[in-house]
């Protein structure tokens, strides 16, 4: 997962490598691998690895909530205590 600074650094490299799918995402995927240590082969998948898209960890199981506004954990189905 990428924090906002890392996400910006990675996505700014899109279209910097040339023509075609691999060329379009080449530099972006290299930077993603350098930051995370994981070799991603699908450039579009990187856009789903942004921490800001997800909520805080579930109080029961520790997995990230599916959205910042989640009312139920998608993994263990525990209700989320809202602070509102």
Confidence class of residue 66 from pLDDT cuts 50, 70 and 90? very high
pLDDT at 24 over 70: yes
Q: Average pLDDT, whole number, for the chain?
A: 88
Model pTM score: 0.72
d(CA 18, CA 24): 6
- pLDDT for position 70: 94
Confidence class of residue 17 from pLDDT cuts 50, 70 and 90? low
d(CA 6, CA 36): 10
Closest CA to 83 of 66, 67, 71, 65: 71
- pLDDT for position 49: 92
**CB neighbour class for 29 (10 Å; exposed up to 12, middle 13-18, buried from 19):** buried
């Amino acid at each position: 997962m990428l924090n906002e600074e890392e996400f910006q650094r990675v996505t700014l490299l899109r279209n910097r490598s040339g023509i075609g799918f691999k060329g379009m995402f080449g530099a972006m995927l290299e930077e993603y691998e350098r930051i995370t240590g994981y070799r991603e082969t699908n450039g579009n998948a990187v856009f789903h690895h942004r921490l800001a898209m997800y909520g805080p960890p579930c109080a029961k199981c520790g997995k990230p909530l599916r959205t910042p506004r989640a009312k139920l954990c998608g993994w263990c189905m525990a209700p989320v205590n809202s602070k509102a």
